[in-house]
Structure formats: structure tokens, C-alpha cells
A = this chain, B = another copy of it.
């Protein structure tokens, strides 16, 4: 298994480190617009080998990603303070489109994992320009938001977070939808717990929506939860788990990439599962899809 990481920023490298610790790849390649950055990060990971599962840790240009099984794209240009969002979108879009085209030409059998924001728009774009089937173009989507939701619920109800069956769906962004009905703990309805309180769930959902901003304000960026979430997707692919994760994939029904619970394995992501929603959740999800499509449409301007 060769996994290439295009973009060696904080999340990309924390993800590569997690991938190495879990022994998911025999070859890990780091690439970055700054060759020095990619080289330094590769050295920092290579020096872990004495205490890690073994992998060839290398760095290089996009051309060195050839024959990757998985290509992870976290590259992106940060927004300048004075520029409108549409400009950012179009600038990152050009970058991602160019990377995707080059990477897929070099690794036509690869699975793409998209981490660059705005997540769903970039995943949609990557699907379009790659020519790959939708199931092999996977956005991290709301897996991170879902991780936060489950972790907070687990903390509140004092159970294993891995047993919490709860989802955030829709856009990985401001219109995300934490589903509050039908949450179960390993199949047992949360509502049967003595500590259950509807207002608590709503409050935790709001904390999840605020989590990214809160962590950025407190420590300057989100790093480890995104890395652990993205690595869960990588693990499901590498080990062919067929695990259910709310990744973002192009959805032919909604004509855009959007996150819903989806089976993830060595084949990629699919099928998408039908999770029940209340009428208000359906409305919120529809609104979220519309929001992603609005940005997708801007790309075409």
C-alpha cells in the first residue's frame, strides 16, 4: 500500500504520522508546495521508524506519487484577509483541479481522499475533473463533525464513544446538520437512558457546530481530531472494513458532493445508506445541500 499526501500542513502531516503509527502503508510519500517543508516533515516521520511499524517514508513532487493506492489531498491556499470568499474558492479550485488531474494520471487506480476546504465543493470538483467513479473520490466530509458529536455525547452519558451511533450530515461547514433523533448507543436508544434530556442533545449539537471555531480560537488550528478522523477513513479503505462513515461523495440524487452515512472499504465509498430524518432535519439537510451547490455553481462562473 502506497499512500501519498499532497499538502504537508499541520493536518496532512498529523494524518501521515497517524497512518505510520497504525502501520497502514508500506510507503508514505509527503509532498508540498514547499519542498523544504515536505522534506523536514518526512525526516521527522522517518526518525520515528525505530519505534513504529515499518514504512518507506519519502518526500517529493507530485510526479513521485505515481502508483499510489491512495492519494490524500490537503493542499490549499489560505484566504487573504481582504479577498472575497468567491476568490478563495476559485483560487483553491484551480489548485485542486490541477493536483487532481496530475495525480490521477500518475495513479489511475487510486482512491482520492480530499481534506482541503471548502470540503464538499473541492470533493465535487475532484470528482468532476478526475474522471474517477464517484466511490473513489472521497471527501473527509462530516466524519470530523461526527467524531466530535459522538465524543461529546459519550462524555456526557459516560459510555464508550465508539458505541455512540450519532451523525452529523450535510455540508462540512456552517450548515452541517447534527441529527438529534434516533441516536442509539450500540443500538440501544439514547432516550431510554435516565440521564437523557432532549435539550442536552440540542446543546451538544450546537457545541459541535461551534467546535472548529472554538479550537481555532484556543489553540490556533484543529489538528489531531481531523487527523484521527481522516485516518479512520484510510483504515477502512486499507483494511477493507466496509465501515459506515459519513464521508462526502458525489451524490447523483442531489447532484453534488455531500456527507451521508456511507459504506467505506477497499473499493472506496458506497453505497450511501438511508438514514431516517425528521421533517425539520430533512429541511435542514436540503438547505445544507443547497448551500454546497451554491458554491459549486460559483466555480463555474
Residues of A within 8 A of B (CB): 13-14, 17-18, 21-23, 26, 36-37, 39-41, 43-54, 144, 146-148, 150-152, 154-155, 158-167, 182-189, 192-193, 211, 214-215, 217-220, 222-225, 228-229, 231-232, 236, 239-244, 261, 263, 266, 273-276
Per assembly, the copies of the chain total: 4
Given A48-B147, A166-B187, A187-B275, output 15 extra A-B contacts at Cβ < 8 Å. A18-B21, A26-B240, A26-B266, A44-B222, A44-B224, A46-B151, A47-B215, A48-B228, A49-B154, A49-B155, A51-B231, A53-B241, A54-B240, A160-B242, A165-B184
The interface residues of chain B lying within 8 Å CB-to-CB of A47 are 144, 147-148, 151-152, 211, 215, 224-225
Residue contact A146 to B50, C-beta cutoff 8 Å: yes
Chain B: which residue is nearest A53 at the CB level? B239
> A261's contact among B162, B186, B211, by CB below 8 Å, is which?
B186
The interface residues of chain B lying within 8 Å CB-to-CB of A161 are 49-50, 52, 54
Report if A36-B186 is in contact (Cβ < 8 Å); known contacts: A26-B266, A159-B242, A164-B50.
no
Residue contact A229 to B189, C-beta cutoff 8 Å: no
Task: Give the CA-CA distance A275 to B185 in the complex, in Å.
Answer: 10
Residue contact A273 to B192, C-beta cutoff 8 Å: yes
The interface residues of chain B lying within 8 Å CB-to-CB of A144 are 47
Chain B: which residue is nearest A235 at the CB level? B51
Residue contact A51 to B160, C-beta cutoff 8 Å: no
The interface residues of chain B lying within 8 Å CB-to-CB of A215 are 40, 43-44, 47
> A167's contact among B51, B187, B236, by CB below 8 Å, is which?
B187
Residue contact B54 to A241, C-beta cutoff 8 Å: yes
Identify 18 residue pairs between A and B in the complex whose beta-carbon atoms are under 8 Å apart, listed by A's number. Answer: A26-B239, A37-B219, A40-B214, A40-B219, A40-B220, A41-B219, A43-B211, A46-B151, A48-B147, A49-B155, A54-B162, A54-B242, A159-B244, A165-B165, A165-B184, A184-B184, A184-B187, A185-B273
